[in-house]
Structure 1
Amino acid sequence: MKITRISTQKKNTERFNIYVERDGKEEYAFAVDADILIKYNLQRDRELDDDFVKEVLTAEERQKAYRLALNHLSYRMRATSEVRKHLLEKEMPEEAVEHAINRLTEQKYLNDEQFAAAYVATKKATTPHGPGRIRRDLEALEVPKPLIEEALRQFTSDEELEKALKFLRQKQKELQRRSVRELTQKLQQTLMQRGFTKEVSAEALRIAFEEVDQDEGLDAAVYQARRYYSKYRNAEAFEREQKTKQALVRKGFPYSLAAEAIEQVKMEEDE
């Protein structure tokens, strides 16, 4: 084969179509990136053999994978596994993918250590997640465990507690409408799902409930009493009061607080 013509692609001026003469006729052979065109000195009238063409096409696949990866990285930092997955989804050959990964790693465009540190810093500043959730996310991105643990060192125990408390304080209205016993298990489970340790979750709950004073505890009981007293409005007076009181106790309110709340609701109804 001999190159008869080289033309620039209309949609991408950095790529070139190579035409060759075969059996006395000109035909399209392949397309290459500008860097490959220069590297292999592809020009008109150059003779090509099969081994040389195979080498050029291998280099072209590697270059294409590299450029796809660079474009993927241009939007934000990414873990190595994210880039590999992206290239495979673009149906790039595995050899070209690994070559691109190695090249980007050598050039420090890919660095899982830096990625993990930046990921932890961002999630710590912008999300209500604790270190456990962030660890799970990084593990899902196949970041090596030693790099994950090193990155999580920036998440101190005091910061973890403060973040858990911030989440609970956002639930202030809920804390004012339900009993401590009813909410404790639910909120502790929620905190642990968000990546906070069991110990930190328990301590945050203790502090948060201390911040809810006795008056707010009565407000929560009254709020629930109104609901149940209305629910049982068709019952006899004594039965209505007893059913309401039982419902409040089941929700975790102390008996004395339930009784006080019911008396307040009865007074409201009499007014």
Structure 2
Amino acid sequence: MAKITKIATQKRAGRYNLELDGRFAFGISENVLAKFGLMKGRELTKEEIERIKEADLVDQGLKVALNYLSPALRTEKQVRDRLKGKEIKAAVIDSVIDYLKSQQLLNDASYAKAYVQTKQVFSPKGPRAIAMELKKAGVSELLIDDALANYQEESQLAVATKLAEKIARTHRRDSTRIRQQKTAQALVQKGFSFDIATAAINQIDIASDEEDEQENAQREAEKALRRQRTGTAKERYYKVKSKLYSKGFSAETIESVLEQLDFGQDDER
């Protein structure tokens, strides 16, 4: 048996030093102090001392976990990884996780459903990308499927359409065909199916008007011509023409633009 001869506050708020038989034994939190009803003069067995020490380790781990959980929901894997990063023992981590689950502070199902809802509004993504991110966060496939069940095709199309409008604006200097391709590619990369991406593009007015298409082609042609510093005029002509075709412009637009460019005096087309 060991007798508590002194309980003194530490500089750290909520922490106390415990002296047993006149010697410093270990530090404990205020929660553990209250939980075990510790006070000066009480005698403790070796088993009680070990339980107190273990409880303090769990309490410290719990504080780390709660601080990590305070700004946002987390998965069990994310919390475990954070605790491991703090070099907390596996047994202590298990106790912390069990407590958090019992208090409904850690719930992968709730996390997955909230994540799916958030990704429909903020930083929009399709179901495939969301599923990959949830899997990476440690959520089981069963819970992922359950959460995504509420992300129906109608909602996917609405989200994808808004995203398509934004993406298309960033490619307004491209030809209509390339603009469509880049928008579709971006939507697929965001986790939407090709069918949803196509349907979203069909929902918006992505085609450039004739004047814009002409200006875009003119800009690309002049840029391509500036890069052709060698070769005959005929070679430069066909290289620029090939570049415009690769950029998705129509034959009619290309011919119109090429007629306005100066390829040199030896131009033989």
Q: TM-score, normalised by structure 2?
A: 0.83
**Do residues 50 (structure 1) and 46 (structure 2) align?**
yes
- Within 5 Å, give how 1:197-216 maps onto structure 2: 197-208=193-204, 210-216=206-212
- Structure 1 unaligned regions, length at least 5: 267-271
Structure 2: distance between partners of 1:231 and 1:84: 55
What is the match of residue 165 of structure 2? 169
Counterpart contact for 2:73–2:111, Cα < 8 Å: yes
**Do residues 244 (structure 1) and 246 (structure 2) align?**
no
Deviation at residue 143 of structure 1 after TM alignment: 1.5
Select which of 60, 67, 74 maps to 1:78. Answer: 74
3-state SS, counterpart of residue 60 of structure 1: helix
Cα gap change, 1:8/1:79 in structure 2, threshold over 3 Å: closer, same or farther? Answer: same
Deviations for 1:67-100, whole angstroms, at most 9, x for unmatched residues? Answer: 3222222222222222222222222222221112
- Within 5 Å, give how 1:115-194 maps onto structure 2: 115-172=111-168, 175-194=171-190
Counterpart contact for 2:75–2:139, Cα < 8 Å: yes
**What's the % identity of the aligned pairs?**
31
- Structure 2 unaligned regions, length at least 5: 263-269
Q: TM-score, normalised by structure 1?
A: 0.83
- Within 5 Å, give how 1:230-241 maps onto structure 2: 230-232=226-228, 238-241=234-237
Deviation at residue 258 of structure 1 after TM alignment: 0.8
**RMSD over aligned Cα, in angstroms?**
2.6
3-state SS, counterpart of residue 42 of structure 1: coil
* Residue identity in the other structure for 1:6: I
Deviation at residue 185 of structure 1 after TM alignment: 4.7
Select which of 24, 29, 32 maps to 1:28. Answer: 24
Deviation at residue 196 of structure 1 after TM alignment: 1.4
Structure 2: distance between partners of 1:74 and 1:50: 36
What is the match of residue 269 of structure 1? none
Select which of 89, 96, 99 maps to 1:100. Answer: 96
Cα gap change, 1:248/1:8 in structure 2, threshold over 3 Å: closer, same or farther? Answer: same
What is the match of residue 15 of structure 1? 15
Structure 1: distance between partners of 2:35 and 2:236: 90
Deviation at residue 46 of structure 1 after TM alignment: 2.4
Structure 2: distance between partners of 1:18 and 1:119: 44
Cα gap change, 1:130/1:42 in structure 2, threshold over 3 Å: closer, same or farther? Answer: same
* Residue identity in the other structure for 1:62: V
What is the match of residue 223 of structure 1? 219
Counterpart contact for 2:217–2:253, Cα < 8 Å: yes
Deviation at residue 111 of structure 1 after TM alignment: 1.8
Counterpart contact for 2:176–2:208, Cα < 8 Å: no
Q: Which moved more, 1:26-35 or 1:205-214?
A: 205-214
Structure 1: distance between partners of 2:208 and 2:154: 21
Deviation at residue 120 of structure 1 after TM alignment: 1.8
Query: When you count helix as a share of all residues, which structure comes out higher?
Result: 1
Structure 1: distance between partners of 2:219 and 2:73: 49
Structure 2: distance between partners of 1:239 and 1:122: 54
Deviation at residue 183 of structure 1 after TM alignment: 4.8
Query: Size of the alignment, in residue pairs?
Result: 261
What is the match of residue 62 of structure 1? 58
Structure 2: distance between partners of 1:173 and 1:78: 35
Structure 1: distance between partners of 2:106 and 2:156: 29
3-state SS, counterpart of residue 3 of structure 1: strand
Deviation at residue 239 of structure 1 after TM alignment: 4.7
Structure 2: distance between partners of 1:163 and 1:130: 8
Deviation at residue 141 of structure 1 after TM alignment: 0.9
Deviations for 1:54-76, whole angstroms, at most 9, x for unmatched residues? Answer: 12212222222223222222222
Structure 1: distance between partners of 2:260 and 2:169: 20
What is the match of residue 41 of structure 1? 37
Structure 1: distance between partners of 2:41 and 2:162: 72
3-state SS, counterpart of residue 76 of structure 1: coil
Structure 2: distance between partners of 1:84 and 1:143: 13
